[in-house]
Structure 1
């Protein structure tokens, strides 16, 4: 099933599988009927292989099968897996790996008018939060190009990579590639695309599909004559999103003529298009909405819905995700929908199960749109729900957290162990190489704790199937993660204690030293602003669970920076003030300047509100943003004024 070129792509993507596992992946990708019996590791490997080949221009399964069959199954089993919530990684081509000028994320998806209306409702609520008039907002609709994502800053052209780091592929412009419509360089994000008609008439006999051609343009190898001709004919171009044809107007006009606008924009260009992009253009609101690790909240892709069916629920099975959430999976009477035989659908969370009556015998309306998993659109005939009291993986008592049932036993629950190890390295952020694929392989060889990973030698990594160079690099990265300075609150957050994310860890360690947390009572925790009484007991239990691992890891000599302030900083001009940074800063990164401000007792926010004291405006900040801040009573200062405040130099 895999050609030599396929294997080369997998090597570039650092997907090194044993011969046995590669054989299982081959079988799984060739025969969808085997997916139910496949192990988690093989399913994830199959997705990683399919994604790498697709993004390198050599797809081995169709988009529909990837979404509906394989991603569907992963979402059912592990709804919090990074493949579902982070930017899908691209294979590494020849070229220097560099930081992207801006973060390039994926796009959230919607498959019905109702999904779009719910997105707009979230936009409206956010607008109200910052005092903006939703009715005056401008919405923009553009075609969703199905090409090869890249970013042009005017000097370099970058691949999207993992959304934060990509490769320098400026060579494609040196080969003669032009910006669409004779546009200028430096217009930011866009896609390398080839005209549909041109491809069919001139390239189809040389390339399996347009994506295969687009990937070939990027690679280091010298291009063949027909590819160079496509570039010379301007049939293949870099199309910046800023130059795409678009519709713009207020929400009232968009929703009133939604179907016509979508159809018109969908067919505006002679390139492969797989939907339309809807977004708002208001910069302060975009900044306020922000993004997840996967997508911007101010933007959404619309794809057409396909089909529904009325189906009986046979049973509801609880499954523990790697984040500890218990996902209810509705087992259904087998139903064929949009070409696939479906027997399961997620119910998202147990509050939905309870509120809607999703139990054995319930009749539901099932939709298989463009989504990665069949969706329960409506419960037509409710039934008595069954709610578990204990984790199906480890037997620990479950707790409610808003809509979700949670297993808080994160360090001893088998379903959560791999995620706990991956989470540690991901949050620490001072290492490379310990992503999902590496952790998966270590798990297969019996590694169950982070301290066991730090004890591995290069020889042991090699014995587990890693290459000699990769093994040595992993050992060096483990050493790096111990020697590079890391904030104590980030180190604590890496242990994944329930309800102890980065913000809560930083808040707690502003009051107590790191090694004091194991002696804190529930009352001590509740006394700190931002900690609720109902979670204090769970946090205390979580600290007790990590104590042994914490002591083993700190014994390895991590370079931890204490965040508890020394002495009294209450007299400092920044003490108790809330700051927001924006624009281009020159005296340090935003993270560095935020750390310095926090050391003086300041709070640092991500968006301006009426509670913000200072907006620190660097270069390239629009007048609308600073005016909006002043309207809220916020003092706008430049970088030099901030540094004066930081140094206590005030008149």
Structure 2
């Protein structure tokens, strides 16, 4: 659909548009073509080149311009339809009810604004509290299931919201999707359910390890592996990926005469409980408020926001990838009254977590010398926001890591940071290369002392074997005083570097024969600080032997 050159231009154009605070009206056409491109990358290829947040920002910029200049809105604008994941590989089938996108929020304030808009639209009094059901926004592939006479009749992807790809044979391999469910017990003859196909994080890691061993391309994330698995031509391949499905909505239900059967349920929460009792995998209820479930009925928007923020901190410990929470009006009667826009339901909104993955440009590589002489390549990248932190340096571990992933200088790379995990490069975006990228040459000599580097047969690291290398000496002392070694309180990395520059530290032994009178005279210290440091060092002398051994940075010896 797009040539390599076109993709490079559209990616660069996207980055320029994202930098504009208030794009001019002339940017509408550029915003439309870039959004359509990113929808194709995300939905058709399952291989996005921008983060969800960046896509959302492009979309909001287009929305804002079209509101300001309504005469410029066109029927084919991305804001006038739902994004599509339709392919030519499977027959297309229509959904029983349209499936819209969700509006997005990123903080408690925007959730409060959503609540106020809803009250205004429904004509509800200011003081009235709307009850909300909050549940995970699973980061997988959306599926739409139809049951007739208690049997799974059809399964499709989300598609363009009106129709999707028929993937029934593949969905039948998912053990979490019942082939038979007792809808008839509730007087339901035909039902349409919506859910998400996912792969557990631990299963995904094992899968990628096996693909690496088989010299197959690695999946960027569990979502790619799951959505790709739904569209395989061979159902046994779908089964091998151990995909699971969470169901989160009963969108349509009629009795044998075609009459509406949803009226027996008063709330969204009731429909989820019904599906769970019918044998479907659904988000667990946190009715007791003890943090054990991922679905919670909140009495108002403030409580809903608190639950969202709570789960933003718990997302990394959750077995499945989630990129936010979905806040839904719990009352089905209020949902019906609120209705929808052309793009999203007015009664639901997504609370998006901070992005864990983003693309950025690899500018250059620093080769750093560690405490045992190992050389670590560190990628210096254009600063990018990941999980609430600005990332500008990313470890690339060793030469094999660079070669196996074919990472080059000038590449646009996909970077990930999950929780407190050190950021890492998932892969280079090879389709965005323009020919100016350069192969990364690993040094043959130590970048500090220039000693020839050595690589043992059973190791991945190149090492400087000069024990007098200044970089190693400094790193050994920094490690020695660190929390995980001798744990000398108040003796941080910056203090070690400062004393080293002053000529007070040359070896680890010098740490235990410092002149505290001189230290007391240093700016930022004083007698009390010097005395505290002395006391901490004296305390460290009583550490157990295993801490001492670990602190000496002897290769292959540690805890």
Shorter-chain TM-score tier: 0.3 to 0.5
TM-score, normalisation: structure 2: 0.44
TM-score, normalisation: structure 1: 0.38
Which gives a bigger RCO, structure 1 or 2 (Cα 8 Å, sep 6+)? Answer: 2
Q: Which has the larger radius of gyration?
A: 2
